[in-house]
Copies of this chain bind each other. A is one copy, B any other.
Amino acid sequence: MTQYIYAFREGGKDMKELLGGKGANLSEMTSLGLPVPPGFVISTETCAYFLHKDDYPEGFFNDVLAHLADVEKELGMKFGDANNPLLVSVRSGAAVSMPGMMDTILNLGLNDETVEGLKEKTGNERFCYDAYRRFVNMFGNVVMGISHENFELEMDKLKEEKGVKLDTELDAADLKELVSRFKAVVKEKAGRDFPHDPSEQLELAIRAVFESWNNERAKTYRRINDITGLKGTAVNVQAMVFGNMGDTSGTGVAFTRNPSTGEKEFYGEFLLNAQGEDVVAGIRTPRKLEELKEVLPEVFAELEAVREKLEKHYKDMQDIEFTIQERKLFMLQTRTGKRTAKAAVNIAVDMVDEGLIRRDEALLRIDATSLNQLLHPDLDPDAPKNVIAKGLPASPGAACGKVVFTANDAADWKFNRDEKVILVRKETSPEDIHGMHAAVGILTSTGGMTSHAAVVARGMGKCCVAGCSDLSVDVVNKVFRVGNVEVREGDFITLNGSTGEVMIGEVPMVEPELTDNFQKILDWSNEVKRLHVRVNADTPEDALVGKEFGAEGIGLCRTEHMFFDEDRIKAVRKMILSTSLEERRNALETILPMQQKDFEGLFKAMDGMPVTIRLLDPPLHEFLPQKPEMVQQLADEMGMEVAKLERVIDNLHEVNPMLGHRGSRLGLTNPEIYEMQVKAIIQAAILVSKEGVKVIPEIELPFITNIDELKAGRAAVEAVIAEYGESVTFEYKIGTMIELPRACLTADELAEYADFFSFGTNDLTQATWGISRDDAGKFMNFYLENGILERDPSSSIDQKGVGFLMERCIELGKGAKSDIEIGICGEQGGEPDSVVFCDKIGLDYISLSPYRVPIARVAAAQAALKNRK
């Protein structure tokens, strides 16, 4: 038979699924011999049963009463007894903390008789009727669905009658009067009497807590916080203790270490003569925990002992709640404390030093994603913020600057006026690159986590909020609007790229630090991780940042980004507009030395490490202007008729450029482009080799779908390299991006002509899902908000779809060529769940933008630890 109810002594901390977090930890503390008021837990399975059948299991409530009898016995009190009444709290508690989302009822068991018994026992009439009126109010609200205002109205009326201002000024008789008025409210609003029978109260309360699992608030919370797979809430029924029985009573919350810095100090607050809700409500200002030492030294000492016991036992920083009833300490809750990234790092390292945990345990304690906070300037957490909109947290960090609306303005304000600017666009395009470089942050109204703005910003390590769909951007009038708020060019705004928030004005910043403890975590990560971590870098600067953060090579250099520099884009455009092969070659000749210089820089920066260079990927039209005035300007520059230029642009136009004439398709139809790029790579490699640098070029063909395409592409690359004969003294590899489903499904064939594969999961996800990163904004938010998707597939590897294709690719690829090197260079490769997946399926490396390298190292270590289990 299913056990639906567990006495605290029967449970333990590993039973969270069944008993909820609160129940499991109350049980654990009971087993530890800590002073926990006795009680029992009704399991989450009971909740599931109840929600499914809309009724309790057979015999369930008798079982409740039996457990209650055990509590009565332990305390020598009786539930509903007129002389020595037991009161209980009824609290929700799911496996995952959902603070404030579900219901709680205190002081249950009070009625007109038991309140008198309590009065006899405590000798404190005011306390008793205060408890009683609180109970009627809470029960009336939670169980009987009567809104709070009804009770508040009666309270206000009574205070007016009595001519007092504060609740505390009401005396016992007033509160007794209030109880009867509250009961009248119940009768009027609920159409029935307030239940007098404590058993009935309990039965109704448990029912109400179960039902609160599916209230709108709770459902929303679970969706937003990505909480799935839970059965329901447990219900904790526990004897009441009272912190409001005078000045030797009190209540408090504490962390066993400082949750903000990680320092080893007992950190908390308390109130004397108060109940738990008073600390949370913020009506009275709580006192610092240290002061308890002065006020109630024995209790404080006891609490210190509890703290020590808990840390030793849980081996982690705890967040505790306690109540003191007439100098007696009661523990009401313990749970793992939430902490900042900084605290997480420091606590983890300290606890290793203290011998409490091992290094691998320390590594698993850290939320890798949160390390972002330590790598980017962040908003001062204490500063006031005026948030006007929220978009997607596309590239982490914070930025503050003056609003500009065009890339040219951004460059102008930055370089000629030395202003910090934030570039605001509907969406960005390659034409905006120089403006993005100039800006401290980027804000777009459309596009998703892998839109152009997001990808480029992450590559630059620059803060970006994308797809902020509440924004209406009016470039012509240089203004954007959110609701009634208008923000004009030159106005200050602040972005939080880690949360997606957009704020009016200047919010103060705190600077990042790569502390010794952080460095230790990174070192430990390297000891454990199996995956290599590389950096996505298009410039020597990015490469060096990545290397400093511990990158073991470049996993992706996007050569097209090098084409957008002002001095190059002209030559590129000349090349595109050439009407003869010769003209085209001449234009390419002028680009060659520039690209060669880029590669020299990269090779030098990564001395001794592999450098994966992807040949040109985007379609040619991305290099040509679209706007009439820009077309006119280019025509003038080129000495070309506008009409003719328009024809060229029109001919290059594509309906779906993502699926068009790009990547190796372009490389094969216009072989002179890749020829120039391969020359630049090889010449650079020869040159710096001579200077003693060890080069390991990995030449990558993008957007391959079939064996003959790769064969032809590889042959073309090899033909160019062959021209350099004996000068090529270094090893090199030729491989391909895997970014289309068909590449995955024919990986056995592709392996024949590839020394390495690199998953481009951005494009692979787009193709697998049929979702264009640039257009997803139009429905993705709706999908996420309405639970049609749990997660944007661009944010984390979709294991069932994209992941299946990856696994098949690896199986086929390694099956055909066991030593083929396989990595991932899509930004998903840095998301911790995805890293676990990448580790599990046997990838050789992950590659990410420079500022994500440290996170990836930690995530890779965690992945290794998790998959090793």
Contacts and interface: CB of A to CB of B under 8 A. Distances in A.
Contacts of A788: 668, 706, 708-709, 712
A668 B780 CA distance: 11
Contacts of A767: 659, 741, 767-768, 770
Nearest to A712: B788
Given A706-B789, A712-B788, A779-B661, A740 B770 contact: yes
Interface string A641-672: 00000000000001111111100011011000
B774 A763 contact: no
B659 A658 contact: yes
Given A742-B769, A767-B767, A768-B767, A661 B705 contact: no
A657 B659 contact: no
Nearest to A711: B788
A658 B655 contact: yes
Interface stretch (A25-33, A135-143, A798-806): A798-806
A766 interface: yes
Contacts of A795: none
A416 B26 CA distance: 87
Contacts of A763: 770
Contact of A657 (B771, B775, B789): B775
Interface in A503-524: none
B661 A798 contact: no
A772 B656 contact: yes
Contact of A659 (B669, B775, B804): B775
Interface string A736-769: 0001111001100000000000000001001111
A782 interface: yes
B661 A775 contact: yes
A801 B742 contact: yes
A661 B712 contact: no
B804 A774 contact: no
Given A706-B789, A788-B712, A656 B798 contact: no
A782 B671 CA distance: 12
Contact of A708 (B665, B703, B779, B787): B787
A779 B669 contact: yes
A771 B783 CA distance: 26
A770 B766 CA distance: 9
Given A745-B805, A770-B703, A656 B775 contact: yes
A804 B804 CA distance: 13
A783 B658 contact: no
A804 B745 contact: yes
A774 B658 CA distance: 12
A782 B667 CA distance: 12
A746 B805 CA distance: 12
Contact of A709 (B706, B783, B802): B783
A800 B768 contact: no
Interface in A671-705: 703, 705
A778 interface: yes
Number of this chain's copies in the assembly equals: 2
A786 interface: yes
Nearest to A739: B770
A658 B661 contact: no
Interface in A239-260: none
A786 B661 contact: no
B659 A800 contact: no
A794 to B, nearest CB: 12
A741 B786 CA distance: 23
Nearest to A781: B669
Most buried by B among A658, A709, A767: A767
Nearest to A746: B800
A782 B708 contact: no
A659 B768 contact: no
Given A660-B778, A668-B788, A655 B772 contact: yes
Nearest to A658: B656
B798 A742 contact: yes
A279 to B, nearest CB: 40
Contacts of A771: 659, 705
A786 B712 contact: yes
A665 B708 CA distance: 36
A606 to B, nearest CB: 30
A770 to B, nearest CB: 4
A104 to B, nearest CB: 32
Interface string A784-815: 00111110000000101110110000000000
Interface in A790-849: 790, 798, 800-802, 804-805
A46 to B, nearest CB: 27
B659 A805 contact: no
Contacts of A654: 772, 774-775, 778
B705 A772 contact: no
Contact of A656 (B659, B668, B800): B659
A740 B769 contact: yes
A656 B703 CA distance: 17
A646 to B, nearest CB: 11
A766 B767 CA distance: 8
A206 to B, nearest CB: 31
A789 B703 CA distance: 15
B745 A801 contact: yes
Given A740-B769, A763-B770, A767-B767, A668 B779 contact: yes
Contacts of A657: 655-656, 775
Contacts of A789: 706, 708-709
B768 A740 contact: yes
Contacts of A786: 668, 712
Contacts of A661: 775, 778-779
Nearest to A451: B655
A740 B772 CA distance: 13
Contacts of A666: 779
A668 B779 CA distance: 9
Interface in A35-86: none
Nearest to A660: B775
A771 B770 CA distance: 12
A665 B781 CA distance: 11
B783 A768 contact: no
Contact of A745 (B665, B770, B774, B800): B800
Interface in A715-751: 739-742, 745-746
Contacts of A745: 768, 800-801, 804-805
Nearest to A770: B740
Contacts of A740: 768-770
A788 B706 CA distance: 8
Nearest to A705: B769
Q: 10 tightest A-B contacts by CB? A: A656-B772, A659-B772, A742-B801, A660-B775, A655-B774, A661-B778, A740-B770, A656-B658, A654-B775, A741-B741
Given A658-B772, A659-B766, A709-B788, 8 more contacts: A659-B770, A705-B769, A708-B787, A712-B786, A739-B770, A741-B801, A745-B805, A746-B801
23 contacts: A654-B775, A655-B658, A656-B772, A659-B766, A659-B767, A659-B772, A660-B772, A668-B782, A668-B788, A705-B771, A709-B783, A712-B786, A712-B788, A740-B768, A740-B769, A740-B770, A741-B741, A741-B767, A741-B805, A742-B768, A742-B800, A746-B800, A767-B767
